């Protein structure tokens, strides 16, 4: 697939964790345009190793495996971990212990840039009639959102203490098209996802930055003004899907918390027994 974000900057070796997931699979083909070697990691099957790829399965909670995974890496796109609301045990291991292991491995291996897949669920308990900026306090809508808030704080600490730059991407909903009314605000095309990740990798100075991963949507709950230094300019809008989405759900229930809050169904998921 041709790159939609041409750049003269090319990395020797990029690491993509969570490469077997939905967005990982999409970025697997796209990130090859920006590096000589793309190292891929997951605990799920990654298939055969293609030209220009290194397939390195590793568990995030395994500190020694993570140290080996980050050897010789120029930068990391970290999508790995639990990506939905789950019981605490899996979230603790993959998203809390795993994030710590990743940053410790980055520190010990001298890796200086991480693109961290955070989530819009860090602020999911803001209402849909509010606009949230990147400096507003976190309001997680579940344990998954709590773990991503932890990852943002951890990455800030590793920047302040050790100088490892991170762009935290509060990803909205990246699919071929929006699936419901909520996604008219949160949707981001795969091309915009690529633009966002590549801008985060190649901006000259990012320090510790937070940016919402969203398209050029008419309806939006998130203000990226303070993240303009990243250079991300979304080009795709959910608006062309509006008529189809609204026709499928003409009368939303305004007493439903999933309709009132930005986190959608995540605000009423669990508890897990």
Helix (H, G, I), strand (E, B) or coil at 137: coil
Angle at 98 between CA 267 and CA 221, to 5 degrees: 35
Q: What residue has token string 């710590």?
A: 100
Angle at 117 between CA 72 and CA 185, to 5 degrees: 150
At 89, which helix (H) or strand (E)?
helix 88-91
144 is catalytic: yes
**Beta-carbon contacts of residue 26 (< 8 Å; ≥ 6 apart):** 174, 190, 193
Catalytic residue among 100, 103, 126, 144: 144
**Beta-carbon contacts of residue 11 (< 8 Å; ≥ 6 apart):** 34, 35, 36, 74, 75, 201
Angstrom distance (rounded) from CA 109 to CA 67: 8
Torsion angle defined by CA atoms of residues 83, 86, 90 and 92, in that order, rounded to the nearest 10 degrees: 90
Strand spans (E) along 56-188: 75-78, 113-119, 132-133, 165-171
DSSP state of 172: -
**Beta-carbon contacts of residue 264 (< 8 Å; ≥ 6 apart):** 124, 180, 182, 258
Angstrom distance (rounded) from CA 133 to CA 223: 5
Which residue numbers are catalytic?
144
């Amino acid at each position: 697939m041709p790159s939609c974000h041409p750049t003269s900057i090319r990395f020797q070796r990029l690491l993509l964790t969570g490469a077997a997931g939905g967005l990982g699979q999409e970025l697997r083909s796209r990130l090859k345009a920006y590096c000589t070697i793309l190292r891929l990691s997951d605990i799920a099957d990654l298939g055969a190793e293609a030209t220009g790829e290194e397939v390195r399965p590793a568990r995030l909670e395994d500190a020694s495996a993570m140290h080996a995974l980050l050897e010789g890496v120029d930068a990391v796109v970290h999508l790995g971990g639990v990506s939905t609301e789950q019981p605490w045990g899996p979230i603790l291991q993959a998203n809390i212990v795993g994030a710590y292991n990743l940053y410790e491995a980055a520190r010990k291996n001298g890796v200086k840039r991480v693109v961290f897949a955070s989530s819009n669920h860090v602020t999911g308990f803001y209402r849909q009639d509010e606009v949230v900026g990147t400096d507003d306090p976190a309001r997680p809508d579940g344990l998954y959102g709590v773990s991503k808030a932890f990852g943002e704080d951890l990455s800030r600490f590793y920047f302040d203490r050790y100088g490892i730059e991170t762009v935290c991407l509060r990803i909205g909903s990246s699919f071929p098209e929006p699936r419901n009314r909520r996604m008219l605000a949160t949707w981001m095309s795969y091309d915009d996802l690529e633009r966002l990740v590549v801008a985060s990798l190649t901006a000259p100075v990012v320090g510790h930055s937070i940016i919402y991963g969203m398209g050029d949507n008419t309806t939006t709950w998130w203000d990226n003004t303070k993240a303009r230094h990243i250079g991300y300019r979304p080009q795709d809008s959910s608006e062309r899907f509006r008529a189809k989405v609204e026709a499928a759900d003409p009368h939303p229930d305004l007493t439903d918390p999933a309709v009132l809050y930005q986190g959608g169904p995540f605000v009423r998921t669990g508890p897990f027994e």
